[in-house]
Structure 1
Amino acid sequence: MQWLVGQWAAGARTAEGRNSLSPTLLLWSYALAIAAVGCLPRIPPPIFLATLAVALLCCALLLQSRRRLVPLLLAVFAGAGWGSWHNRQALAERLPLSAHGADFLLQVEVASLPESRVSALREGDSEAAINLRFSARVLGQLEGGELSSPPQGQLLDLTWYRADADIRRQLRAGSRWNLPVRLKRPRGSVNPHGFDYEGWLLRRGVYATGYVRPGDHTPQFLDSFKGLPAMRHWLRDRLVEQPARRPELLRALLLGDRSGLDSDDRRLLRETGTAHLLAISGLHVGMVAGFFLLIGNLLGRLIGAVTGTSLFAPAVFLALAGSLGYTLLAGAPLSAQRALAMTWVLLLAWQWRRRIGPGLAYSLALALVLTLQPLAFFGAGFWLSFIAVGALLLAFSHRVRLRRDTDDTEPGYARRMGRGFAGLLFSQWVVTLALLLPSLVFFSGFSLAGMLMNLVAIPWLGLLILPMLLLGTLLIWTPVSGWFIGFAGWQLDLLMGFLEQGRSMLPAWQTLALPLGTFGLFLAALGVLLLLLPAGLPGRRLGWLFLLPPLLPFLPQVNGEDDLRVTVLDVGQGLAVVLRTRQQRLLYDTGPLSGSGWSAGSQIIAPYLLGEGIPVLDTVVVSHGDRDHAGGFVGLVETIPPGRVIAPGLLTDRFNNFPQRTTANCRAGEKETLGDLNLLWLWPEDGEVSGEENDHSCVALVEWRGVRLLLAGDISSGVEQQLALRYPDLPPVDLLLAPHHGSRSSSSAVFIRWAQPANAIFSAGFRHHFGHPHPEVVERYRNAGARIWNTASSGAVTFSWSGAKEPRISLARDAGRFWYRKSADK
């Protein structure tokens, strides 16, 4: 598909002449207006947009150039109006905050392929239970008390915890159920450089999240509705039955179902820069379109042989229909919808290539994608897709085609083959160069071997694996289907082996933080743009100078000023605190590990550290062994290696097998210096404790140039009283990490008078069933004159001291995205 885009860009001609930029400019203005409205911290009211539109149109009518200006303003306000209306509707179609945590009895239809995840073992369990995650469409409400029911047709993301074998057999895509559910307003942790789960739910149109909660009502299976979801589930079952060594790879490639991929396969694909091979995107939709284009072209030639007139229309029609069918079969995720829109524009532009140019087709695809989903530009896939296609158009648009060889001799054929391979190699180089910066920005790394791996893997997948899989799917009711699917599975297994060998022989994924700031990113993007310009332009090679900073990780960091930064990350009901100075990078606790396997260490802490330019940690303190404090450790060390681990008592034995240099205990009365941080351990007194209990927590008083921080773990009021007696002359602290998330059993009045905190922060889950922080505790801190912060309502909170006694405070939910403000707990 990359080569096809390049050839079209190189050979397309436009017939609009001097006016060819006019529709392109209008489409760009329309698309940018949609994006601009989505970036506003608040959605402008309709009256504001209407008043501004009338005012500017009146001004345009007074200008001499109104014939050009009026259409431009109309395009801008069409985009702004559509984006504003859509965003307002997206916010309105979410569960009201008043119904957060309420129970409903709903009739639903399963809309996605259920994903099975192994649950954590509970005490007394003989084997791990299975949790099912799925999306469901509301068909109606049976009971719900006085609360308004979810409107019919709304989408829910649900989890069925500890589902038995009968439930797993009956819960199929397309099946209908009466389910008692507890629903929650779409909500997610908000952290710098982290995945925006809340925004992702908003883009998908999810009305609420929740879980099946059998109680007074028993879940009731109704029937299996026949339709596209049921067909997808049936195909998944058929793929499992095929003679393939790894059917989960075939499911990911055909149906977009990646739930069966294990961690080793995911890591292999990421480290070799080929993760896109099994994620339904423009690559797959383009390959399917190309496959049907080839079939249609052969059909057109056969018709031409009979009628004497060669037809190209059947090829385009089959490509359009095939790409649409494949997108629907894959579940029509946002990435596939975006790829489908771009593919259709490309195919139609190629069909009408003498009347539409690459620039107009590109802007049309951009406008179409943003019309379908005005918030699509917040996803990384949007930028990767459009940057890759834009780079190909830019690199090939001014390349001159050489005249075809007029003879059929071997040298001419060899030259054509050589030029074709050179074009393929050049297109892969262009995409690799163009996606270097987005890869660093979104994923904090890049694969050095990605270009060579993709040069082999993409044709292998597109010419052998995917066509055979599609043929096997089309012939699924025939005996030869198993041969085609088996052949695809065999080839896919060989491809994974090739990637494994390549990873061992070539430089693989390189983790690289990119703290460049806005100006640095602009310069790096300018460097890429210069390098993609046509060869021969003066100064083109200077682009490498602009790319030098992100390619040299040993350069001084932009944010390496002499200050203390403390970030309490939003990890839900758990704790993770990052302390940064010029000489020390310290992490206090590693966040939770959920029963489904989600780890705050890999999903929140590691992306934050890499985004901030911290590829390694000097010290990790695990306050105690509770899952909400120590659970994220394993996920963290897979990406960020710690230099030293400190834990209470015997808990250090748990970390001896992990790749860090040393382990140590925290013990009351001991002092140590970590770079320019001075630590006084206040608790526990006994070095032989198990380290698993709340009252075994490592309690540390951290001092930096007169700034004092008190990190208190999960200690209870009993330990708090002992601390007040043991250290009666403790100076007032500037920041107190409230013990046990603000539990009623901690933060006693004696403790608060002893610590005298200027700022107190609670790390808690939004409206969690534990009810942290307790209102009485909040009132105690407020009466003591402390400023109060809560990650549940503010997201991650960052305190910065640079010599001044008063810190600068930034809240992640003040990042300017309109859905954060609407989600705030009032």
Structure 2
Amino acid sequence: MHGQWRLFLLTVCMVASLTAAHQCAELLPKVALWGLVIVAGLTGLCAFKFKTLRLFFVVMMMLSLTVVYTQIQAWQRLHEHVLSTWIGQTFYVQGVIDSIPTRTPFGVRFIFKPTAVQSDALLQQAYDEGQLPSRISTAWYDDDLPVTGIDGLRVGQVWALPLTLKPTHATQNPDVYDQEQDWFARNVRALATVRLNQSTPKDMYPRWLRTETSFWHVLQNTRATALQRIDQSLAGETGESTALFKALTLGEQNAISNTQWALFQKTGVTHLVSISGVHVTMLAMVLAWLTQALWRRSVRLCAWLPSLHAAQYVGLLVAFCYALLAGWGLPAQCTVLMLALWLLLSRLGVASSGVRVLCFALWVVLLSDVFAVFSMGFWLSFGAVAWLILALGERKSGDDSTDGSSTSDKSAWILKFIGTQIAIGLALLPVTLYFFHQASFLGVAVNIVAIPLVTGVVTPVLLSACLLSFMFGWAWPMLWAHALLDVCLQYLNWLAQAFPQAIWWHSLTWWQAVLLSVMSIGLLLQLRQRRWWRVAALSMGFIVLLFSPVNRVVIPYGQVRVHVFDIGQGSAVLLQTASQNWLFDAGPRYGENSDAGVRLIVPYLRSIDVNRLDMMVLSHNDTDHTGGAASVSQAVEVSQLVGAMSAEQMAALGVHSASKDFCLTGQSWAVDGVRFSILNPSLETLMDNTLANNPKSCVLRVDASAGQMKSMLLTGDIDGLQEARLLVSPQGGVWDWQVDVLMMPHHGSRHSSTAPLLEATKPKWAIAQAGFLNSFHHPAPNIVERYQTAGAQVFNTAETGALRFCLGCVTANLDIWRITGRRYWWDDALKRVNN
């Protein structure tokens, strides 16, 4: 086997073993790590002795060493954590601001890095023992900020802050973005809030101590200043274009709204919004070309260093500096590393093949950060480059078969460019479907124009405008560039409106994505060699594998598959029968541009191939129950909306549905052998303007025909008084109140879940959908005890993650996601409760 392909095989094995090591539920014990070290040593010795099997033993040695190295890194990172005794306490922590403070709906957020000297003895001991988290994601609310506000906070400032610490705990749902994984990958091991109140002593008020001026701090402050200058120059202009301006120039994507991301996804240009390798390479090539053109004009300079070499060094330096200034994202890192390695290997006289450069770049990235595989950017950037190198590399002369026809150079270049765009689209299709459960039909066509336009025109214009504005203080270059972006966004919006069904929603498993990627390479190779029968066979296999519905679950008649989302402080439950899908509530709104619908519910619906909701029931008009409704209705078809609110309130939600009805007592539906009944509110209760929203909550009862668990009651936020009214005078025609599963009224509030309700319902399971360490203290401890005394098993989604089970099945098939989907970096909330 050729040397570069042996290197490629070793690299693939390393990436695969490293990825597999991160998928375990718990880390290996240290004894097992020592065993792997011994295995690596033995296989290394065998590699020297048995030449015929050397490659096999080298691969085994690499696999063992990779797992050991990964586990050691993970052990070290997990050693930093928030102790359970710290939760609820306020500590006076000294540390340095280590990231640019970003605006949130309530204040600012930044990374706070504790210093080696702490005034608190407990924290000092934790720091000395390596337990104090080295990177803390800190929120500072507007009311407590210093007089200077966010502009007064700079990277490198050392502050003493009163912080309430808590673990990096986030919602956990299957096939949905894992925030805990992202925190762990970035080594953020604690969350904190600057806590000030009337009881805070004066000596614990925030104090600015000093400012550190390391290279990283200066670089980040320079980037922050540039972002502020852009905001000042474009004040009063369209916010969407300003957000895109900052993303294309400095890699700042926080201001891009969910609406914009949806537009970019529909038109297939999401990859162009970030500082990608194409942007970095383009800038490096332009500066290299200018350097060579000027350098060759001097005989003395050319005698000292050839113009080509000077241009290459300048291009690499510019790429490195720009990648740093743009945030040093993974795609930019990949590009700079590959440029540097290509230049180094060519100077050393080693054949700098694309495969070898790619492998070395991967080794550098993964040895410096074994958690890079957690990032989607890692797979998208390195995966696309690897695919292009393997499939579109230089062909040998014998590979081309001619048919006697000739084409002009211009036509050949155009065909090659279009073919490359189609190849890129084919390469990214499996990875895109795996990570995002969607692909754009417009992507290939739009990118044929968008890639050269954005990289060759728009981005250079934006960077030139920034440079002129920063150097001379001119505002007009940025305004003109902003106007250019406005035009581009208008055309994208026009395309999205002209082709409203341009998104293909589909989900793939990891093994499907891998096989499809390999088959796409083989397909292109066979196309290049004009082996048409192999092309036909691979195409057929590709299509069959692509459309295989592996995630679809067949639900028998008379059964209900229940999905209780881990939604935070809110409510959202998906009910699936044999032919219909119902959503009870749509979760909370998290911020101006974020809600549970777009972040959790829609991605999960896509992962299980649900593209239509036959009914959406909104229990009442509170944002923790309706916050994600509009986002859900924009992503999937909603046939009927039923809500316990006025027509005006229903219209204000912005939910798109074929019909809208009031949620009223007496409504009942028989669906696939399952009975759905509305027990509350009555018309009088709904129209009573003196009542708050909670007593008007829809109460939905679900009854399957038989099974271990055959009935469920979803109660919204009814209070104790409303519970009593229902029990004394059942209004839904249900006189036998006994249910197997009860969603705790009002998330387990102490003003609900009264003893008469529990006595009447006699639930086997009681489920509370509540936020982790929420300020309302839901579910209340006395309510949990009340359920347990009544014989119910209590589940809190903040501790269990999402819950999935079956009504009407012989066994309930309970799936507790924080147990069945367990990953070693997840917060141990469930263990803390059990202990």
Superposition TM-score, scaled by structure 2 size:
0.86
Instruction: Give CA-to-partner distance per residue, 1:255-301, whole Å, 9 cap, x none.
Output: 22223334554333222111222222333333333334434443554
Q: Which residue, 157, 175, 178 being the options, matches 1:196?
A: 178
Aligned counterpart in structure 2 of residue 724 of structure 1, from 727, 730, 754 = 727
Q: How far 1:644 sits from its partner (Å)?
A: 1.2
Pick from 329, 337, 340: which aligns with 1:341? Answer: 337
Partner of residue 664, structure 2 = 667
Separation of aligned partners in 2, 1:306 and 1:597: 54
Equivalent of 2:192 in 192, 205, 210: 210
Which of 10, 21, 25 aligns to 2:5? It is 21
The Cα of 1:252 is off from its aligned counterpart by 1.6
Aligned to 2:553: 559
In 2, Cα distance between the equivalents of 1:106 and 1:140?
11
Bigger Cα displacement from structure 2, 94-103 vs 149-158? 149-158
Specify whether residues 183 and 472 from structure 1 end up closer, same or farther in structure 2 by C-alpha distance, changes over 3 A only: same
Of 382, 387, 390, the residue aligned with 2:383 is 387
Q: Is the 8 A contact 2:267 2:496 kept in 1?
A: yes
What amino acid sits opposite 1:328 in the alignment?
L
Partner residue of 1:499? 492
CA contact (8 A) 1:513 1:615 kept: no
Could you tell me which residue of structure 1 aligns to residue 27 of structure 2?
43
Structure 1 position 687, deviation (Å): 3.7
Matches within 5 A, 1:689-728: 689=688, 692-706=692-706, 707-727=710-730
Deviations 1:585-641 (A, max 9, x none): 111111111355531111111111111111121111111122211222223223223
Match of 1:318 in 2: 314
Alpha-carbon shift at residue 187 of structure 1 (Å):
1.4
Give the equivalent residue in structure 2 for 1:454: 447
1:775 & 1:781 partners in 2: Cα distance?
A: 10
Equivalent residue number for residue 804 of structure 1: 810
* Aligned partners of 2:258 and 2:593 also within 8 Å: no
Deviation at 1:519, TM superposition (A): 6.3
Deviation at 1:450, TM superposition (A): 1.5
**2:50 matched to 1:64?**
yes
Amino acid paired to 2:180: E
Equivalents in 2 of 1:194, 1:719: separation in Å? 36
Question: Which of 109, 112, 122 is matched with 1:136 structurally?
Answer: 112
Q: 2: distance between equivalents of 1:60 and 1:594?
A: 53
The more displaced of 475-484 and 652-661 is 475-484
Q: More displaced, 169-178 or 750-759?
A: 169-178
Q: Distance in 1 between matches of 2:163 and 2:251?
A: 27
Against the structure 1 CA distance between its residues 97 and 268, is the aligned structure 2 distance closer, same or farther, given a 3 Å change threshold?
A: same
Larger displacement relative to structure 2 (442-451 or 555-564): 555-564
Alpha-carbon shift at residue 375 of structure 1 (Å): 2.2
Contact 1:517 1:558 in 2 (8 A): no
TM-fit CA distance, 1:174: 4.5
Partner amino acid for 1:717? Answer: G
Contact 1:175/1:230 (8 A) holds in 2:
no
Distance 1:587 1:714 in 2: 16
How far apart are 1:379 and its partner, in Å? 2.5
Report the CA distance shift for 1:676/1:315 in structure 2 as closer, same or farther (over 3 A). farther
- Pairs within 5 Å for 1:588-667: 588-595=584-591, 597-650=593-646, 653-655=649-651, 658-667=655-664
Q: Does 1:362 align with 2:358?
A: yes
1-side partners of 2:498 and 2:344: how far apart?
Answer: 42
* Selected match of 2:523 from 523, 531, 542: 531
**Structure 1 residues not aligned, in runs of 5+:** 1-16, 120-130, 404-411
CA contact (8 A) 2:81 2:133 kept: no
Contact 1:449 1:507 in 2 (8 A): no
Specify whether residues 398 and 229 from structure 1 end up closer, same or farther in structure 2 by C-alpha distance, changes over 3 A only. closer
* Preserved contact between residue 291 and residue 467 of structure 1 (Cα < 8 Å): no
Would you say 1:272 and 2:271 are equivalent positions? Answer: no
> CA separation of 1:179/1:678 partners in 2, compared to 1, >3 Å: closer, same or farther?
same
In structure 1, what is the equivalent of residue 82 of structure 2? 95
Q: Structure 2 vs 1, CA of residues 286 and 479 (structure 1 numbering), >3 Å: closer, same or farther? A: same
1:79 aligns with 2:71: no
Give the Å deviation of 1:321. 1.8
- The change in CA–CA distance for 1:804 and 1:349 in structure 2 (over 3 A counts) is farther
Aligned partner of 2:403 in structure 1 is: none
The answer as to whether partners of 2:82 and 2:133 remain within 8 angstroms in 1 is no
Moved more, 528-537 or 765-774: 528-537
1:466 is aligned to 2:459? yes
Aligned mates of 2:496, 2:441 — CA distance in 1: 10
Match of 1:182 in 2: 164
Structure 2 equivalent of residue 155 of structure 1:
135
1:497 CA displacement:
3.5
Q: How many angstroms does 1:394 deviate by?
A: 2.2
Q: How far has the Cα of 1:99 moved from its partner?
A: 2.1
Tell me the distance in 1 between the aligned counterparts of 2:560 and 2:342.
Answer: 52
**Identical columns (%):** 27
1-side partners of 2:322 and 2:348: how far apart?
24
Q: Is the 8 A contact 1:615 1:640 kept in 2?
A: yes
| Alignment CA distance shift 1:225-1:499 (3 Å) | farther
Residue 230 of structure 1 corresponds to which residue in structure 2? 221
Residues 346 and 424 of structure 1, relative CA distance in 2, 3 Å threshold: farther
2:139–2:192: 8 Å Cα contact kept in structure 1?
yes
Give the Cα–Cα distance (whole angstroms) in 1 for the partners of residues 656 and 8 of structure 2.
Answer: 54
Q: Deviations over 1:340-382 (max 9, x none)?
A: 4345445545666852433222222222222232222232222
Offset, 1:477: 5.5
Q: 1:139 to 1:55 in 2, by over 3 A?
A: closer
User: 1:465 Cα shift?
Assistant: 3.0
Contact 1:677 1:703 in 2 (8 A): yes
Question: How far apart are the structure 2 equivalents of 1:618 and 1:145?
Answer: 59
CA contact (8 A) 1:736 1:759 kept: yes
8 Å contact from structure 2 (residues 570, 624) kept in 1: yes
Q: After superposition, where does 1:574-585 map in structure 2 within 5 Å?
A: 574-585=570-581
Q: What is the distance in 1 between the residues matched to 2:525 and 2:757?
A: 65
Worse-superposed segment, 100-109 or 484-493: 484-493
Provide the rounded CA distance (Å) in 1 between the counterparts of 2:398 and 2:484: 36
The equivalent residue for 2:427 is 434
**Structure 2 counterpart of 1:248, from 225, 243, 246:** 243
Cα pair distance change 1:27/1:662, threshold 3 Å: closer
* Other structure's SS at 1:820 match: coil
Which of 674, 680, 684 matches 2:677?
Answer: 680
Residues 232, 176 of structure 1: CA spacing in aligned structure 2 closer, same or farther, 3 A cutoff? Answer: farther
Q: Is the 8 A contact 2:526 2:534 kept in 1?
A: no
Number of residue-to-residue matches in the alignment: 790
**1:235-255 CA-partner distances (Å, limit 9, x unpaired):** 122223447954433322222
CA deviations on 1:450-471 (whole Å, 9 max, x unpaired) are 2222222222222233334445
Tell me: CA distance 1:178–1:53, structure 2 relative to 1, closer, same or farther (3 Å). Answer: closer
Q: Please give the alpha-carbon distance, in whole angstroms, between the structure 2 residues aligned to 1:353 and 1:748.
A: 80
Contact conserved, 1:108 with 1:139, CA < 8 A, in 2?
A: yes
CA distance in 2, matches of 1:106, 1:467: 44
By how many angstroms is 1:521 displaced? 4.8
Asked if 1 retains the 8 angstrom alpha-carbon contact of 2:614 and 2:640, the reply is yes
- Do the aligned partners of 2:133 and 2:190 also contact (CA within 8 Å) in 1? no
Report the CA distance shift for 1:295/1:186 in structure 2 as closer, same or farther (over 3 A).
farther
- Which of 392, 396, 410 aligns to 1:396? It is 392
CA contact (8 A) 1:60 1:69 kept: no
Q: Who is 1:298 aligned against?
A: 293
Q: 1:368 to 1:814 in 2, by over 3 A?
A: farther
